Amino acid sequence: MSYMKSPARNTMLGSSGIAVSTIAWGMWRFAGDDVAKARQLVESALDAGITLLDTADIYGPDNGEGFGAAEALLGRVFAEAPALRDRMVLASKGGIRIGVPYDSGAVYLPQAIDASLTRLGCERIDLYQIHRPDLLAHPQEVARSLDDARAAGKIRSIGVSNFTPAQTDALARFLSVPIVSHQPEFSPLTTTPLWDGILDQAMQHGMSVLAWSPLGGGRLAKPEGDTASAVAALLDQKAEEAGVDRAAAAYSWIMAHPAGIIPIVGTQNPSRIASIPDAYTPKWTRAEWYDVLQASLGEKLP
Protein backbone atom coordinates (compact mmCIF):
# COMPACT_ATOMS: atom_id res chain seq x y z
CA MET A 1 0.00 0.00 0.00
CA SER A 2 1.43 3.37 -0.98
CA TYR A 3 1.11 6.40 1.28
CA MET A 4 1.06 9.94 -0.07
CA LYS A 5 3.36 12.20 1.92
CA SER A 6 2.01 15.63 1.00
CA PRO A 7 1.03 17.56 4.15
CA ALA A 8 -2.43 18.24 5.45
CA ARG A 9 -4.30 21.17 3.96
CA ASN A 10 -5.51 24.28 5.77
CA THR A 11 -8.78 26.06 6.38
CA MET A 12 -10.03 28.79 8.70
CA LEU A 13 -11.31 28.03 12.20
CA GLY A 14 -14.76 29.51 11.88
CA SER A 15 -14.68 33.30 12.01
CA SER A 16 -11.65 33.37 14.33
CA GLY A 17 -9.11 34.33 11.68
CA ILE A 18 -7.00 31.34 12.79
CA ALA A 19 -5.73 29.00 10.08
CA VAL A 20 -5.89 25.30 10.99
CA SER A 21 -5.34 21.99 9.26
CA THR A 22 -8.43 20.33 7.80
CA ILE A 23 -7.66 17.24 9.88
CA ALA A 24 -6.95 17.45 13.62
CA TRP A 25 -5.00 15.20 15.95
CA GLY A 26 -6.74 14.25 19.20
CA MET A 27 -5.10 13.44 22.53
CA TRP A 28 -7.76 11.46 24.36
CA ARG A 29 -5.30 8.52 24.53
CA PHE A 30 -2.19 10.68 24.91
CA ALA A 31 -0.78 9.10 28.05
CA GLY A 32 2.25 7.79 29.93
CA ASP A 33 5.37 9.29 31.44
CA ASP A 34 7.72 8.95 28.47
CA VAL A 35 8.21 12.55 27.34
CA ALA A 36 10.44 11.56 24.42
CA LYS A 37 7.73 9.27 23.04
CA ALA A 38 5.07 11.92 23.60
CA ARG A 39 7.21 14.49 21.82
CA GLN A 40 7.64 12.12 18.88
CA LEU A 41 3.86 11.88 18.54
CA VAL A 42 3.43 15.65 18.57
CA GLU A 43 6.24 16.12 16.07
CA SER A 44 4.77 13.40 13.83
CA ALA A 45 1.47 15.29 13.70
CA LEU A 46 3.15 18.61 12.97
CA ASP A 47 5.43 17.07 10.34
CA ALA A 48 2.31 15.66 8.62
CA GLY A 49 0.91 19.18 8.43
CA ILE A 50 -1.57 18.62 11.27
CA THR A 51 -1.57 21.96 13.07
CA LEU A 52 -4.81 21.62 15.08
CA LEU A 53 -4.19 19.55 18.23
CA ASP A 54 -7.18 18.84 20.47
CA THR A 55 -7.01 17.88 24.13
CA ALA A 56 -9.15 18.34 27.28
CA ASP A 57 -8.71 18.55 31.02
CA ILE A 58 -10.72 15.36 31.53
CA TYR A 59 -8.34 13.28 29.37
CA GLY A 60 -6.51 11.02 31.78
CA PRO A 61 -8.90 8.93 33.88
CA ASP A 62 -9.96 6.82 30.87
CA ASN A 63 -6.30 5.84 30.54
CA GLY A 64 -5.93 4.95 34.22
CA GLU A 65 -4.31 8.30 34.96
CA GLY A 66 -5.36 11.37 36.90
CA PHE A 67 -7.53 14.28 35.89
CA GLY A 68 -5.55 16.58 33.57
CA ALA A 69 -2.90 13.97 32.76
CA ALA A 70 -2.97 14.49 28.97
CA GLU A 71 -2.62 18.26 29.32
CA ALA A 72 0.20 17.78 31.83
CA LEU A 73 2.04 15.42 29.48
CA LEU A 74 1.76 17.94 26.66
CA GLY A 75 3.05 20.58 29.08
CA ARG A 76 6.13 18.45 29.72
CA VAL A 77 6.67 18.21 25.97
CA PHE A 78 6.47 22.01 25.71
CA ALA A 79 8.93 22.37 28.58
CA GLU A 80 11.42 20.20 26.71
CA ALA A 81 10.77 21.72 23.27
CA PRO A 82 9.12 25.17 23.65
CA ALA A 83 9.22 25.90 19.90
CA LEU A 84 6.60 23.20 19.28
CA ARG A 85 3.92 25.35 20.89
CA ASP A 86 4.31 27.99 18.20
CA ARG A 87 3.82 25.44 15.42
CA MET A 88 0.30 24.45 16.46
CA VAL A 89 -3.20 25.68 17.14
CA LEU A 90 -3.91 24.33 20.61
CA ALA A 91 -7.47 23.36 21.47
CA SER A 92 -8.64 22.20 24.88
CA LYS A 93 -11.90 21.70 26.69
CA GLY A 94 -13.30 22.08 30.19
CA GLY A 95 -16.52 21.92 32.16
CA ILE A 96 -16.53 18.25 33.17
CA ARG A 97 -15.87 17.42 36.82
CA ILE A 98 -15.49 13.87 38.03
CA GLY A 99 -18.43 12.92 40.21
CA VAL A 100 -20.55 16.02 39.38
CA PRO A 101 -20.50 15.54 36.28
CA TYR A 102 -20.76 19.01 34.62
CA ASP A 103 -19.79 22.42 35.96
CA SER A 104 -19.47 25.56 33.86
CA GLY A 105 -20.45 27.81 36.77
CA ALA A 106 -18.93 31.18 37.53
CA VAL A 107 -16.68 29.76 40.26
CA TYR A 108 -15.41 26.59 38.63
CA LEU A 109 -14.97 27.46 34.94
CA PRO A 110 -12.37 30.23 35.45
CA GLN A 111 -10.49 27.89 37.77
CA ALA A 112 -10.62 25.15 35.13
CA ILE A 113 -9.18 27.47 32.48
CA ASP A 114 -6.36 28.55 34.78
CA ALA A 115 -5.63 24.95 35.75
CA SER A 116 -5.41 23.90 32.09
CA LEU A 117 -2.96 26.72 31.37
CA THR A 118 -0.85 25.70 34.35
CA ARG A 119 -0.72 22.05 33.28
CA LEU A 120 0.06 23.02 29.69
CA GLY A 121 2.70 25.51 30.79
CA CYS A 122 1.54 28.09 28.29
CA GLU A 123 -0.09 31.50 28.40
CA ARG A 124 -2.99 30.96 26.03
CA ILE A 125 -5.26 28.28 24.60
CA ASP A 126 -6.17 29.01 20.97
CA LEU A 127 -9.58 27.29 21.04
CA TYR A 128 -11.30 26.74 24.37
CA GLN A 129 -14.41 24.59 24.21
CA ILE A 130 -17.10 23.89 26.78
CA HIS A 131 -16.87 20.10 26.79
CA ARG A 132 -20.50 19.35 27.59
CA PRO A 133 -23.36 21.69 28.47
CA ASP A 134 -23.92 22.32 32.18
CA LEU A 135 -27.69 22.31 32.61
CA LEU A 136 -27.38 24.17 35.92
CA ALA A 137 -25.39 27.08 34.52
CA HIS A 138 -27.20 29.97 32.87
CA PRO A 139 -25.61 30.67 29.46
CA GLN A 140 -25.03 34.28 30.49
CA GLU A 141 -22.94 33.02 33.42
CA VAL A 142 -20.89 30.78 31.14
CA ALA A 143 -20.45 33.54 28.59
CA ARG A 144 -19.17 35.97 31.22
CA SER A 145 -16.43 33.56 32.29
CA LEU A 146 -15.40 32.92 28.68
CA ASP A 147 -15.43 36.61 27.77
CA ASP A 148 -13.35 37.43 30.84
CA ALA A 149 -10.81 34.74 29.96
CA ARG A 150 -10.59 36.00 26.42
CA ALA A 151 -10.19 39.61 27.53
CA ALA A 152 -7.37 38.49 29.82
CA GLY A 153 -5.60 36.79 26.91
CA LYS A 154 -6.04 33.31 28.35
CA ILE A 155 -8.09 31.98 25.44
CA ARG A 156 -8.15 33.14 21.85
CA SER A 157 -11.44 31.75 20.53
CA ILE A 158 -14.49 29.89 21.85
CA GLY A 159 -16.13 26.65 20.79
CA VAL A 160 -18.65 24.13 22.08
CA SER A 161 -18.61 20.34 22.25
CA ASN A 162 -21.66 18.06 22.41
CA PHE A 163 -24.03 21.06 22.41
CA THR A 164 -27.38 21.15 20.64
CA PRO A 165 -28.02 24.00 18.20
CA ALA A 166 -30.41 25.58 20.71
CA GLN A 167 -27.84 25.40 23.51
CA THR A 168 -25.28 26.93 21.16
CA ASP A 169 -27.63 29.78 20.24
CA ALA A 170 -28.34 30.45 23.91
CA LEU A 171 -24.65 30.75 24.75
CA ALA A 172 -23.91 32.82 21.64
CA ARG A 173 -26.62 35.29 22.65
CA PHE A 174 -24.54 36.41 25.66
CA LEU A 175 -21.01 36.24 24.21
CA SER A 176 -19.20 39.29 22.88
CA VAL A 177 -17.60 37.23 20.08
CA PRO A 178 -19.00 34.48 17.84
CA ILE A 179 -18.73 30.80 18.72
CA VAL A 180 -16.32 29.49 16.10
CA SER A 181 -16.76 25.72 16.35
CA HIS A 182 -18.92 22.73 17.17
CA GLN A 183 -17.42 19.40 18.27
CA PRO A 184 -19.99 16.60 17.89
CA GLU A 185 -19.50 12.88 17.47
CA PHE A 186 -19.65 12.15 13.75
CA SER A 187 -18.58 9.20 11.62
CA PRO A 188 -19.95 6.94 8.88
CA LEU A 189 -21.61 5.03 11.74
CA THR A 190 -22.80 8.02 13.81
CA THR A 191 -24.56 10.47 11.54
CA THR A 192 -26.77 12.35 14.03
CA PRO A 193 -25.33 15.81 13.19
CA LEU A 194 -26.76 15.42 9.68
CA TRP A 195 -30.26 15.47 11.15
CA ASP A 196 -30.19 17.39 14.44
CA GLY A 197 -29.33 20.78 12.98
CA ILE A 198 -25.67 21.00 14.04
CA LEU A 199 -24.21 20.92 10.54
CA ASP A 200 -26.93 23.26 9.27
CA GLN A 201 -26.17 25.74 12.03
CA ALA A 202 -22.44 25.48 11.35
CA MET A 203 -22.91 26.24 7.67
CA GLN A 204 -25.36 29.05 8.40
CA HIS A 205 -22.98 30.82 10.78
CA GLY A 206 -19.63 29.83 9.26
CA MET A 207 -18.64 27.66 12.21
CA SER A 208 -16.06 24.90 11.98
CA VAL A 209 -17.10 21.35 12.86
CA LEU A 210 -14.60 19.09 14.61
CA ALA A 211 -15.73 15.45 14.48
CA TRP A 212 -14.76 13.30 17.44
CA SER A 213 -14.60 9.51 17.14
CA PRO A 214 -14.52 9.59 13.30
CA LEU A 215 -13.97 5.82 13.17
CA GLY A 216 -17.07 5.13 15.23
CA GLY A 217 -15.23 4.49 18.46
CA GLY A 218 -13.16 1.78 16.81
CA ARG A 219 -16.17 -0.01 15.35
CA LEU A 220 -14.91 0.64 11.83
CA ALA A 221 -11.50 -0.80 12.65
CA LYS A 222 -13.04 -4.10 13.75
CA PRO A 223 -16.61 -4.08 12.44
CA GLU A 224 -19.16 -6.30 14.12
CA GLY A 225 -22.78 -6.61 13.11
CA ASP A 226 -24.53 -6.08 9.80
CA THR A 227 -24.43 -2.26 9.80
CA ALA A 228 -20.76 -1.79 10.62
CA SER A 229 -19.79 -4.58 8.23
CA ALA A 230 -21.82 -3.08 5.39
CA VAL A 231 -20.32 0.37 5.91
CA ALA A 232 -16.81 -1.06 6.21
CA ALA A 233 -17.25 -2.97 2.95
CA LEU A 234 -18.14 0.22 1.08
CA LEU A 235 -15.24 2.07 2.67
CA ASP A 236 -12.92 -0.76 1.68
CA GLN A 237 -14.06 -0.49 -1.94
CA LYS A 238 -13.18 3.20 -1.98
CA ALA A 239 -9.92 2.56 -0.09
CA GLU A 240 -8.80 -0.06 -2.60
CA GLU A 241 -9.68 2.23 -5.49
CA ALA A 242 -7.61 5.07 -3.98
CA GLY A 243 -4.73 2.93 -2.69
CA VAL A 244 -5.27 3.88 0.95
CA ASP A 245 -6.64 2.17 4.04
CA ARG A 246 -10.17 2.05 5.46
CA ALA A 247 -9.49 4.80 7.99
CA ALA A 248 -8.42 7.22 5.25
CA ALA A 249 -11.57 6.39 3.32
CA ALA A 250 -13.70 7.07 6.40
CA TYR A 251 -12.02 10.43 7.02
CA SER A 252 -12.47 11.38 3.37
CA TRP A 253 -16.18 10.51 3.54
CA ILE A 254 -16.55 12.82 6.54
CA MET A 255 -14.64 15.65 4.83
CA ALA A 256 -16.78 15.38 1.68
CA HIS A 257 -19.67 17.11 3.48
CA PRO A 258 -20.03 20.80 2.52
CA ALA A 259 -19.71 21.87 6.17
CA GLY A 260 -15.98 21.17 5.79
CA ILE A 261 -15.92 18.79 8.75
CA ILE A 262 -12.52 18.33 10.43
CA PRO A 263 -12.02 14.74 11.65
CA ILE A 264 -10.13 14.43 14.94
CA VAL A 265 -7.79 11.48 14.42
CA GLY A 266 -6.83 9.79 17.66
CA THR A 267 -4.11 7.34 16.63
CA GLN A 268 -1.07 7.25 18.90
CA ASN A 269 1.13 5.50 16.34
CA PRO A 270 3.72 7.76 14.64
CA SER A 271 3.61 5.90 11.32
CA ARG A 272 -0.18 6.09 11.20
CA ILE A 273 -0.05 9.76 12.11
CA ALA A 274 2.31 10.29 9.17
CA SER A 275 -0.24 8.66 6.85
CA ILE A 276 -3.15 10.88 7.94
CA PRO A 277 -2.93 13.02 4.75
CA ASP A 278 -3.90 9.90 2.75
CA ALA A 279 -7.43 10.99 3.56
CA TYR A 280 -7.18 13.54 0.74
CA THR A 281 -6.80 10.86 -1.92
CA PRO A 282 -10.28 9.23 -2.13
CA LYS A 283 -12.89 11.13 -4.15
CA TRP A 284 -16.56 10.37 -3.58
CA THR A 285 -19.34 10.63 -6.11
CA ARG A 286 -22.72 11.65 -4.73
CA ALA A 287 -24.08 8.15 -5.28
CA GLU A 288 -21.13 6.54 -3.46
CA TRP A 289 -21.40 8.94 -0.52
CA TYR A 290 -25.12 8.29 -0.17
CA ASP A 291 -24.53 4.54 -0.43
CA VAL A 292 -22.42 4.73 2.74
CA LEU A 293 -25.06 6.82 4.49
CA GLN A 294 -27.83 4.40 3.57
CA ALA A 295 -25.75 1.46 4.74
CA SER A 296 -25.24 3.27 8.04
CA LEU A 297 -28.96 3.95 8.40
CA GLY A 298 -29.85 0.41 7.40
CA GLU A 299 -32.47 1.65 4.99
CA LYS A 300 -32.90 3.53 1.75
CA LEU A 301 -33.48 7.25 1.87
CA PRO A 302 -36.94 8.28 0.65
Which residues are annotated as catalytic?
A: 59
Q: Give rounded-to-5 percent helix, strand, coil for the chain.
A: 45, 15, 40
Residues 158-194 as b/e (b if ≥16 CB within 10 A, e otherwise) read bbbbbbbbebbebbbeebeeebbbbbbbbbbbbbebb
SS3 199: helix
**Chain-centroid distance, C-alpha 16:** 16
Closest CA to 119 of 251, 27, 20: 27
Cβ-in-10-Å burial (0-12, 13-18, 19+) of 136 comes to exposed
* Helices 286-297 & 226-242 angle (0-180, nearest 10): 160
